[in-house]
Chains A and B, each alone.
Chain A
Amino acid sequence: MRRTSPALAAYSWLVYGFLYLPILVLIVFSFNNSRFGATWQGFTLKWYGVLFGRSDVREALLGTLLVAIPSTLVSTVLGTLLGFGLWRYSFRWRTPLTFLMVIPIVIPDVVMGVGLLMLYALVRTVVPFSNGLLTVLLAHVTFQVSYVALTVRARLAGYDRSLEEAARDLGASDLQAFLRVTLPLALPGVLTGALLAFTLSLDDFVVTYFTSGSGFRTLPVLIYTNVKRGITPDINALSALLVGVTALVLVLASVISGRSSAFRRSARRGREDS
């Protein structure tokens, strides 16, 4: 084993500190027994209690889930089909389409938010509707699809297309070959993508803020509007919970994709032995 140089270790800790200190402070102060300020007054869980007593928080939590769950389901189906299609078929526009798929990921959220706002306004001149749950949900799907499609495509990239041909050769129709062979192989990618999409929806503020209108709020939007009036410990607690849930889901996603890539590595090793 090579020993890490102390300078490199120190530098690494510094970087991690820089990244995680704000979150750590937030979590620590959610347990601070004081209504105001940055002085430690002892440990308490009461702010978590206060939090769940607030009806606006409960309502925003419900809103968050009403957006996150359906949008994840819809984007997982669409993204899986998109990722499969880009892997399975060679056609003229494959490369530009693959590139277009990445754009929603790299584009600034503000641009996305303003764009959606304008699009909705335009559509509203034809079909009257007001911004709310549905507009937020659709907005989330637009960026979630890209993440799912990317993870599915990456997962399938390691597989030979002859697997599908083998299935068809053995009597499976196109649909059966997809359901019995391709989909099971893509499943870890599908799950990873879905979990990623779920956390993205859970955490999204900018796009939601632009598309939610006045009556509908999710937790990140609630946190923002509250913080404008000053930081309170119960909002710290709420933020800490969001961080916790997101981290948990991401760990789950990396376990799934880690296990599947370990499986693939061993499959590749087996091939090289032969």
Chain B
Amino acid sequence: MLSADAAVSVLDVDKSFGSVQVLDDVDLDIRKGEFFSLLGPSGCGKTTLLRILAGFEQPDAGQIIIGGRDMTGVPPHLRPVNTVFQSYALFPHLNVYDNVAFGLRMKRVPAAQQRERVGRALETVRIGDLARRRPDQLSGGQRQRVALARAIVGEPQVLLLDEPLSALDLKLRKELQVELSNLQETLGITFVFVTHDQEEALVMSDRIAVMNRGRVEQLGKAEDLYERPRTAFVANFLGSSNLIEGTVKAVTPEGATVQTVHGPLMTHQGAHLKIGQSVTLSIRPEKLRMERDDETEGNEVRARVDDIVYTGAENQYLLKANGERLIVFQLNADLGADEDFDYEEDVALYLPPGNLMVLEEG
């Protein structure tokens, strides 16, 4: 892929450390001004890809284009990118002001301009009053802000963020998620954000690349990935899913019918499938309907409530149906409503054909 409005193009990049292949033919475009996330479990290669963009690692094969320029052989200090490190990596011997001014000094920005830009960057992340502090006198959240100010003060074309929020507690993390999104919109800089936290990625990103074992499993908008996962890995890594295996029985232009342990199930996807092919269907737990009586309109499964987890906003029902486990999430909408089900209760589950996704092998 290589398109004109790409801030970053990753072209067929391979990378191995010894005998371990960490990146396997990664190919993606990151658009100008977008908040792009690399999401995946640890060891999926997301951090390595970020380090390749920063110039700390060289790809074994393939090419990196940033701002239309080939980055092959360009050392980190000559790239139009800046990084926010997971450990912040603030210089312990310099105060906040000097930490932020470091990059401008390296680029020999005139002193008056330095003062102005450092001041502006500190104000942007709202720590203007901490300029004279040393890093060891700051809290985790404050250090995070310094790291951010230091990275944006040089006005890079692309900002690389390596799990910058993972060391913070939940409340602070939520706050900074919102702030980071706002900051990205104000600055208009392209953000490449590495995270293993699916919720963080969903909340903040314009587009997400889900990575697994050195490959990009699926790339798209948050809704696309969540509503239409293409592989079992994506279906389970982003939220939870019910996976149902089966064999294709009939194919029509409107979709397919799949024979499963729960009987035949219709899906609106799968017009491309072949009869006799084995497939995996996926449905999100909140997209099943749970009822007391069965209406027999098809796509219904008889089940029994095995366990109930109360999480506040919703109830999570763990059910047994034909020897398989299914999960259903139901909103706790009205107080006192007769919608709560009991342990051991027999129920009917309706799986709307439009909510059943056909997964690719992978």
| Interfacial residues, chain A to chain B (CB-CB below 8 A) | 159-160, 162-163, 165-173, 176, 180-181, 184-185, 263, 266-267, 269-270, 273-274
Q: Name the one of B89, B143, B154 contacting A163, with C-beta atoms under 8 angstroms.
A: B89
Asked whether, in the complex, the Cβ of B89 is within 8 Å of the Cβ of A160, the reply is: yes
**Is A165 touching B89 in the complex (CB atoms < 8 A)?**
yes
Most buried by A among B55, B86, B102, B138: B102
Complex CA gap A66/B167 in Å reads 53
9 A–B pairs (Cβ distance < 8 Å), ordered by A: A162-B85, A162-B87, A163-B92, A165-B56, A165-B83, A166-B90, A169-B82, A185-B92, A270-B137
Q: In the assembly, what is the distance between CA of A185 and CA of B94, in Å?
A: 10
B205-233 vs A, CB cutoff 8 Å, 1 = contact: the mask equals 00000000000000000000000000000
Contact partner of A270 (CB less than 8 A), chosen from B55, B81, B138, is: B138
Does the CB pair A166–B91 fall under 8 Å?
yes
By the criterion CB–CB under 8 Å, are B135 and A170 in contact?
Answer: no
Q: Does B103 contact A (CB under 8 A)?
A: yes
Q: With A and B bound together, what is the CA distance between A27 and B297 in angstroms?
A: 106
Contacts of B137 in A (CB 8 A): 270
User: Do residues A185 and B83 form an inter-chain contact, with CB atoms below 8 A?
Assistant: no
Can you list the 8 inter-chain pairs with the closest CB atoms, starting with the nearest?
Answer: A274-B140, A170-B103, A171-B106, A166-B89, A267-B136, A162-B89, A270-B136, A168-B76
The CA-CA distance from A168 to B91 in the complex, in Å, is 12
Contact A168 B103, beta carbon cutoff 8 Å: no
Residue with the greatest number of chain A CB neighbours at <10 A, chosen from B55, B92, B139: B92
Interchain CB contact (< 8 A) of B139 among A171, A185, A274 = A274
Contact, CB under 8 Å: B135 / A270: yes
A205 to chain B, nearest CB (A): 39
Shortest Cβ distance from residue B224 to the other chain A in the assembled complex, whole angstroms: 32
- Inside 8 A of B54's CB, which chain A residues have their CB? 165, 169
Q: Does B325 contact A (CB under 8 A)?
A: no
**Are the CB atoms of A163 and B91 closer together than 8 Å?**
yes
State the CA gap A168–B89 with chains docked (Å): 12
**Which residue of chain B has its CB nearest to the CB of A270?**
B136
**CB < 8 Å A-B pair total:** 80
Instruction: Tell me the complex Cα distance, A205–B185, Å.
Output: 70
Select from chain B the residue with minimum beta-carbon distance to A264.
Answer: B92
Known: A162-B85, A165-B76. A170 touches B102 (CB 8 A): yes
A273–B93 Cα distance when bound, in Å, is 19
A180–B168 alpha-carbon span in the complex (Å): 29
Residues from chain B with a CB closer than 8 A to the CB of A185 are: 92-93
Would A171 and B143 count as touching, CB distance under 8 A?
Answer: no
Distance in angstroms between the alpha carbons of A180 and B106 in the assembled complex: 10
How many residues of B are counted as interface, with CB atoms below 8 angstroms from the partner's CB atoms?
34
- A176 and B106 CA atoms in complex are apart in Å by 8
CB-defined contacts of B85 to chain A, threshold 8 Å: 162, 165-166
> What does the 1/0 interface line of B265-305 toward A look like (CB < 8 Å)?
00000000000000000000000000000000000000000
A206→B81 CA distance, assembly (Å)? 57
Minimal beta-carbon separation of B270 from chain A (angstroms)? 47
Closest chain-B Cβ to A260's Cβ sits at a distance in Å of 10
Residue pair A273, B139 in contact (C-beta under 8 Å): yes
Q: Which residue of B lies closest to A180 (CB)?
A: B102
Complex: how many Å from CA A267 to CA B92? 8
CA distance A168 to B85 in the complex (A): 12
State A266–B87 Cα separation when bound (angstroms): 17
Kindly identify which residue among B77, B136, B150 contacts A266, using a CB–CB cutoff of 8 Å.
Answer: B136
Residue contact B102 to A167, C-beta cutoff 8 Å:
yes
Q: How far is the CA of A181 from the CA of B77 in the complex (A)?
A: 14
Select one of B75, B82, B87 contacting A170, CB under 8 A. B82
CA distance A165 to B147 in the complex (A): 13
Bound complex: CA A173 to CA B139 (Å)? 30
Cβ of A166: which chain B residues have Cβ within 8 Å of it? 83, 85, 89-91, 150
B62 within 8 A of A: no
Q: Which of A171, A263, A273, A274 contacts B77 (CB 8 A)?
A: A171
On whether the beta carbons of B83 and A169 are closer than 8 Å, the reply is: yes
Does B107 sit within 8 A of A, measured CB to CB? yes
A274 and B107 within 8 A (CB): no
Bound complex: CA A125 to CA B202 (Å): 77
Q: Which residue of A lies closest to B91 (CB)?
A: A181
B67 at the interface (CB under 8 A from A): no
With A165-B76, A170-B106, A176-B106 as known contacts, state yes or no: A274 contacts B141, CB within 8 Å: yes
CB distance from B158 to the nearest CB of A (A): 12
A171 touches B103 (CB 8 A): yes
Please provide the chain B residues from 52 to 108 with a CB less than 8 Å away from any CB of chain A in the complex: 54-56, 75-77, 81-83, 85-87, 89-93, 102-103, 106-107
Tell me which of A172, A184, A266, A274 contacts B143 (CB under 8 A).
A274
B138 to chain A, nearest CB (A): 7
Q: A165-B89, A181-B91 are in contact. Are A274 and B106 (CB under 8 A)?
A: no
Known: A165-B56, A167-B102. A267 touches B135 (CB 8 A): yes
CB distance from B282 to the nearest CB of A (A): 39
